[in-house]
Structure 1
Amino acid sequence: MMYDPTGHLLLTPVDKEAPARVRRLRGLGIGQYPEPAFDIFAERLAELTGAPCAMVNFIDEERQFFAGLHAPHGTLVAAEPSAVPSAGPAAGGEARRYMARDHGYCPHVVVRRKALVLEDVRDYPRFAGNPVVDESGIRSYLGAPLIDHTGIALGTVCVVDVEPRRWGTAGLDTIKRMAAELVEQIHRREAGGI
């Protein structure tokens, strides 16, 4: 765990790779605008895991951006726009796509470069105090990093729920497989194959 000089637990990890990530995302032309293909991917991810909400999340130095989002009307992201600060609504006017870097669990996944399974976030003191717990009611999280062929963790794919969830080995395998699939799509796009 990381501590600041005054001895407090830092909830958001230091991200030394952020400048390189931002350059890579800009070079790929992703991470700043919603993309229908990423929305479709997020919807498929939600279906495969049985989660109400799923995201394709790209992270820069200041914020997170959900370039792909599945959050049907009435689910936590759509119902709690204050928990997901944004410059404006997503297509359809329901959910917002920006979130502060110190909210949520994806920044931990990107820095650790490993999948993260939180069946009940309140079981983990480091994560229980995260603003999304109180503001959005998120109780469970499952996410995996999107590590491209240059070795940069571009962001994450993740699912969340307002109820504790037993994601198990099947959930972990699914999120890792889906992360690898999306990275391959990004590589094909970069090569001009999409």
Structure 2
Amino acid sequence: MASAEDRRDGRGGSVLPAALFDSARVAAVETTGLLDTGPEDVFDDLASLASRITGTGRAFVTLVDERRSFWKSCVGVNLITPAERQAPIEQSYCSFIIGADGEPFVVEDAATDPRTAEHPATGSMRIGAWAGYPLLDPEGRVLGTLCVIDDSPRV
């Protein structure tokens, strides 16, 4: 549920959680030094393992600042440059995890789930099912997510 501090995405669309704009969280994301950097084996290995274990076609390790979801690793899509490997936060499911205080967010059928049916990423990223888990700093702030995506609905 949206809190009084949650914000509209600026285009009359979805509500973005206030936690997304928390200055301490955003500073912690920036402090990682990982935004706008190239692929690294350790992150690609983690995403590849998640994809293999779940049998999904795509997996991402993301960092989320107040305006975008940056894909430090994006297995199953052919994106190389940092400019290609990101999406505006309004077009990312990652805000669901940040808004839920870092609880996992799992959708078995994105097209019919009321939380995601009208979300811009559902169609543009061909999301049938999505499972995301928070990446936390030592203080418990959500820095991003590890998520897997399947083109088709599934448990």
Bin for the TM-score computed over the shorter chain:
0.7 to 0.9
Aligned-partner Cα distance in 2 for 1:101–1:161: 20
| Matched ranges for 1:100-119 at <5 A | 100-112=88-100, 113-119=102-108
1:34 corresponds in structure 2 to: 38
Paired residues in the alignment total 147
| Matched ranges for 1:130-169 at <5 A | 130-166=119-155
In the TM superposition, structure 1's runs of 4+ consecutive aligned residues that sit over 4 Å from their partners are none
Identical counterparts, % of pairs: 29
Q: Return closer, same or farther for 1:121/1:16 CA change in 2, 3 Å cut-off.
A: closer
2:93 alignment partner AA = Y
Higher relative contact order, structure no. (Cα contacts within 8 Å, ≥ 6 residues apart): 2
1:45 alignment partner AA = A
Structure richer in strand, relative to its length: 2
User: Is 1:58 the counterpart of 2:58 in the alignment?
Assistant: no
1:46 corresponds in structure 2 to: 51
TM-score, normalisation: structure 2: 0.82
1:7-60 per-residue CA deviation (whole Å, 9 max, x = no partner) reads x87343333554222311232222331331211211111111111000001100
Paired residue for 1:90, among 77, 80, 94? 80
Structure 1: stretches of 5+ with no match in the other structure: 73-77, 79-88, 167-194
SS at match of 1:47: helix
Question: Are the aligned partners of 2:109 and 2:129 in contact in 1 as well (CA < 8 Å)?
Answer: yes
Structure richer in helix, relative to its length: 1
Question: Are the aligned partners of 2:14 and 2:119 in contact in 1 as well (CA < 8 Å)?
Answer: no
